[in-house]
Amino acid sequence: MKKFVKFMSLLVAGTMLLGAVGCGSSSTDNGGSEETTAEASGAEGSGTASVKTVQEGKLIWATNAEFAPYEYMEGSEVVGIDAEIADAIAAKLGLEAQVENMDFDAIISSVTSGKADIGLAGMTVDPDRLNNVNFSDTYVEAGQAIVVTTDSDIKSAADLSGKIIGVQRGTTGDEYVSKAENGVNPASVERYGSGTDAAQSLITGKIDAIVIDNEPAKKIAEASPDKLVKLDETLTSEEYAIAVDKNNTELLDAINTALQEMKDSGELQAILDKYLNEE
């Protein structure tokens, strides 16, 4: 019986292999071949015609790799949820993903100025940003959270009033604590290039709390378990999506098709589970 199962799976694998060869998508095992054509993207299954990108054959994604688990450095490589999503979408479009790592508040302009094709950075769909770029369908839900020192007297958002709060510059966390109508009345807001820099300041007592997206907040607290803790409260309800230049609706459509395929096949969920399912 076991042997039979093995034989059958070999047979199935073999058939799939033949099928793939039959489709002629030989450029998917690339190795730097420049031959990424419309045929190749068709063979990947998303049925999209070739889309225009900044550099032919490439999907350049702008990010800020200071945002584990969505994007962070592992050696010289940008890894994380968004890196895997970028690779998967690029493959479906018959393109090669290429990352551009930059400050978070430079991402949108890199897309609108044609330096990058997309912004993929745990980026929240936000009305101000919609003035400048289009957003794809959303791929995850998130919200702002608070990180404090383990001995802090801050126990909830109400306690943020009168405190020095650290955020990552230009993020929705920045916006949340900076806008009077949200009712947080901080003594001041300190803006950092990254959550990790804010964490350093929190540990050394320069600031009283950090407001940052929930999963990165978890990572920051986990990195210094004896010093920092993430509070349970979630301050906002947000959704992440991919920013695309307003003039490239073909690319937007192709990305939405690819995202939908990844949702339907369970691939997206598998990527999320791989990074978010501890705890």
Contact positions toward ligand ARG, by CB under 6 A?
63-64, 66-67, 70-71, 104, 121-124, 168, 171-172, 213
Q: How far is the CB of 102 from ligand ARG (least distance, A)?
A: 10
Q: Shortest approach of ligand ARG to residue 138 CB, angstroms?
A: 12
Q: Are 121 and 104 in contact, with CB atoms under 8 Å apart?
A: yes
Least distance from ligand ARG to the Cβ atom of residue 103, Å = 9
Residue 13 Cβ vs ligand ARG, minimum distance, rounded to whole Å: 38
Least Å distance, CB 194 to ligand ARG, is 7
Comparing CB distances to ligand ARG, the nearer of 94 and 195 is 195
Long-range contacts of 225-229 (CB under 8 A, 24+ apart): 226/150, 227/149, 227/150, 227/203, 228/147, 228/148, 228/149, 228/150, 228/199, 228/202, 228/203, 229/147, 229/148, 229/149, 229/150, 229/152
Cβ proximity to ligand ARG: between 81 and 254 the closer is 81
12 Cβ neighbours under 8 A, 6+ residues apart: none
Nearer Cβ to ligand ARG, position 95 or 121? 121
CA–CA dist 22, 157 (Å, integer): 59
Question: What DSSP assignment string belongs to 11-80?
Answer: HHHHHHHHHHHHHT-GGGG-SS-----HHHHHHTTS-PPP---SSTTEEEEEE-SEETTTEEEETTEEES
Beta carbon nearer to ligand ARG, 136 or 172: 172
100 vs 213, which CB is nearer to ligand ARG?
A: 213
The CB-of-139 to ligand ARG minimum distance in angstroms stands at 12
Comparing CB distances to ligand ARG, the nearer of 43 and 102 is 102
